[in-house]
């Protein structure tokens, strides 16, 4: 079974803090993604990566950055957290050969106070 | 017009009922289509891909109508465990040349199966 692990299920941070969300997959997938999911807005793509050290902006990259130093790990960074970044964050991975089927981690519910 | 639209529901049905959801998409260049299931406070999980000729997996049937640009999901003999949100996902070109593609997620249709 594919396993995508997100380091935290719940996080509470203060405005202005730097926040790291970690995601690890154990299936040697080339592609990894970070989404946020909000009521009424659905899943929105923040950033994705097709390979190590490679990153591409998604639909809502503002206020976020990412890092992919190793194939199995994709980190999402909030440089200075703001209250409007309170959300459910979902990491996903996908093998290069798959027809866009994505495997998700359990999610991190982040609250910024 | 949204790229992918779903009726949010909720659909409340009794156990054993048959229920159908539709999802419309706006981009005629869409190539791949999927239904994902998301339980409350859990991550989305692939339920089934949708093939041009239609496909079935047990009690679940998915169909694609390219002419009218919609896909559907039919659930027969509903179980309590089918209660979830069903997300429609469409793969569309992400640039004008059509060289790159991306997934567009619907907001989901909520289903509650009642005893």
Question: How far apart are alpha carbons A89 and A76 in whole angstroms?
Answer: 9
**How does DSSP classify residue B30?**
-
Query: For B38-95, what is each residue's pLDDT tens digit?
Result: 999 899 999 999 988 999 999 999 999 999 999 999 999 999 999 999 999 998 876 6
Hey, how many other C-beta atoms are within 10 angstroms of the C-beta on B110? 19
Confidence grade of residue B97 (pLDDT, cut at 50, 70, 90): low
Chain B hits for A43, Cβ within 8 Å? 44, 87, 105
Contact B7, B22 (CB under 8 A): yes
Q: B97 CB contacts (<8 Å, ≥6 apart)?
A: none
Residue where the block lists tokens 């289509």: B33
- Per-residue model confidence as pLDDT tens digits over A32-80: 999 999 998 989 999 999 899 999 999 999 999 999 999 999 999 999 9
Chain B hits for A42, CB-CB cut-off 8 Å, are 87, 105-108
Residue with tokens 């509903």: B78
A90 contacts in chain B (CB < 8 Å): 43-44
Sign of CA dihedral A62, A64, A69, A73: negative
Residue B95 has a pLDDT of: 61
Measured distance CA(B87)–CA(B61) in Å, rounded: 15
Record: contact B44-A104, CB cut-off 8 A: yes
State yes or no: pLDDT of B98 exceeds 70: no
Task: Check residue B31 and give its pLDDT.
Answer: 84
Cβ of B108 within 8 Å of Cβ of A102? The answer is: no
Cα–Cα distance measured from residue A51 to residue A73, given in angstroms and rounded to the nearest whole number = 11
């Amino acid at each position: 079974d594919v396993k995508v692990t997100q380091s935290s299920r719940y996080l509470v941070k203060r405005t202005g803090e730097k926040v790291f969300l970690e995601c690890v997959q154990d299936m040697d997938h080339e592609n990894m993604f970070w989404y946020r999911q909000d009521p009424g807005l659905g899943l929105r793509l923040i950033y994705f990566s097709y390979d190590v050290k490679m990153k591409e902006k998604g639909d809502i990259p503002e206020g976020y950055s990412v890092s992919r130093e190793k194939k199995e790990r994709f980190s999402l960074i909030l440089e200075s957290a703001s209250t409007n970044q309170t959300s459910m964050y979902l990491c996903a991975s996908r093998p290069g050969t798959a027809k866009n089927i994505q495997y998700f981690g359990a999610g991190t519910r982040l609250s910024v106070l | 017009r949204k790229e992918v639209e779903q009726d949010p529901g909720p659909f409340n049905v009794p156990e054993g009922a048959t229920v159908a959801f539709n999802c419309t998409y706006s981009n005629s260049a869409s190539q791949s289509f999927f239904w994902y299931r998301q339980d409350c406070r859990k991550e989305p999980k692939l339920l089934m891909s949708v093939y041009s000729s239609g496909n079935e997996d047990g009690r679940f049937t998915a169909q694609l109508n390219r002419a009218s640009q919609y896909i559907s999901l039919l659930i027969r003999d509903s179980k309590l465990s089918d209660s979830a949100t069903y997300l429609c996902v469409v793969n569309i070109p992400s640039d004008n040349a059509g060289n790159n593609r991306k997934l567009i997620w619907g907001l989901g249709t909520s289903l509650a199966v009642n005893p």
